[in-house]
Structure 1
C-alpha cells in the first residue's frame, strides 16, 4: 500500500539519522565507494536531492521538477535532464544509497516519491545462525575489536594527524572507514611495499590503490574480513601483476615476438 502524500514533516519517523551531520557523513561514505558508478550529471542530481533531505535528515519528498529547477538555477541555466535524474534514482536505489517509496494523493493518483537515505552499512561478520563455526568466529571478532580498541587508546590520533607523506586523495577515502591516522599510514605503507615489489613508483599507482581499497570495502560489506590491511595488499598486488602482464602484452606479445616476451619475463 502506498504512503499518503503530504508535508515532509509527517515522514520524520523514516529518518535513520540523529542529525544532519550524521546524514552527511554517511552520504560521503556512500559516495566515496560508489562515486564512479554515476555520471557527472547523475552526481549533480544525487547531491541536490540530498540537499532537499536536510530538514528531516535523510528524508525527502521533493518533486523531480522541483529538484531539476533548483539544479537549473544553481548552474545558471545549465541543468540536467529528467532522464538523467531518473537514471540516478535507479542506480542509487539499486546500490542501497536510498529507498524509494511511492506516495499517493487522497484521490488515489500518484504523487511525488519519498526518498529515504540509508545508513552506510557497517562491516560485520555473518550472523551466528548462518555460521558453521560461529563460536570460533565470534571470539576472533571480539579479539580483533579489542585489539583495535587498544590501538585507538594508545594513539588517540584521528586522520587529521596522518603523515603528509600520504597523498590527500588516499586519506580522503580511507578516513571514512578507518579514521585513525596510524591505520591510514599502514594502508599507505602496504601500497609502497606493493609498488616496490612490482617496480612501480608509489604515486603512479595512486588510482589503483584507491580502487583496491574500494574493493576491500565491498568485500567487508558482504562478509567478515579478519585482516583488512593484508586483504587490501593482496588485492593491490594482484592488480599490479595483472597490469604488468597487460603492459607486457602491449610491448611484445605478437606473433613474431614471443622470444622477446619470454626474455622480458625471465629478466623481471
Structure 2
C-alpha cells in the first residue's frame, strides 16, 4: 500500500492558492493538505470545484496549529519574504528530517532558511510565475545539498502540477530566473499593449486591436508548447520578402532585440540581487 503524502501550505494568497488549485487538480488522490491561512475567504477561493474524492484538506489559522499526528512530507512557504523564518520556526513541532521545506519567497536564501530551523536540512527554493494561476507556470528551483532524490522528486512534482519546471545548479541563478520567467510575463504584456496601440494607429478599433493582439500572444505560446524552439517557429512563419519579413526588419536586426532583452533582464536581475 502506498503511503499518503502530507503537504503543508503556508499562505493561500494569489500564488499559494494557485499552487493548491494545481495540486488538487493534477496530483489526484493519495495527497493530504493542511493550509495555513488566516483568511477563510482566500482558502475557499483556492479550492476548485472539481477535485478528487480521496483526499483530506484542512485549514488552520497559524503554523502552530498544524497537527503533528502525521508525518509531513513537504512544507511549501508561500508567504511574504519576511515571514519565512518565522514560519519555519513555528513549524518545528511537525517538521522532521524527512520533510522538505520549499520557499517561493523572493530574496530569502537557503542559508537564511537553514538558520531558521534545525528540524530539517532539506531546503528548496522555487520561483513560479503568475501563469500558475491557470496551470501554466514557468518555474525553476534550486535544491540544497541536504535534499534527497525522493525529496527533490516530490518538490518537482508539486511545481509540475502547475506548469513547466526546471532545476538550476546554482542558487544565484534564481536571480536570472526571476528576471526571465518571474518578470517575463509583464514584458510580453507590455509588448502586447504596444502592438494593440500600433494597430489602433493603423485604423483598427480598440476592441478589435486588443482581441487580435492578445489572441496572437496566446497562439504563439501554444505553438511554443508544441515546439520550444522560437528560432524554428520564427523561420516557419517568415516567408522571404513577405509581410512578416518586412515587419521583423522594421523591428531591427536580431542583435538589437537581444540587446533590448538583455537590458530588461539585467535590470530585473540587479533588482532581485538588491532585494536579497
TM norm. shorter chain > 0.5: no
Structure with the bigger percentage of strand: 2
Structure with the bigger percentage of helix: 1
- Higher Rg of the two aligned structures: 1
TM-score, normalised via structure 1 length: 0.26
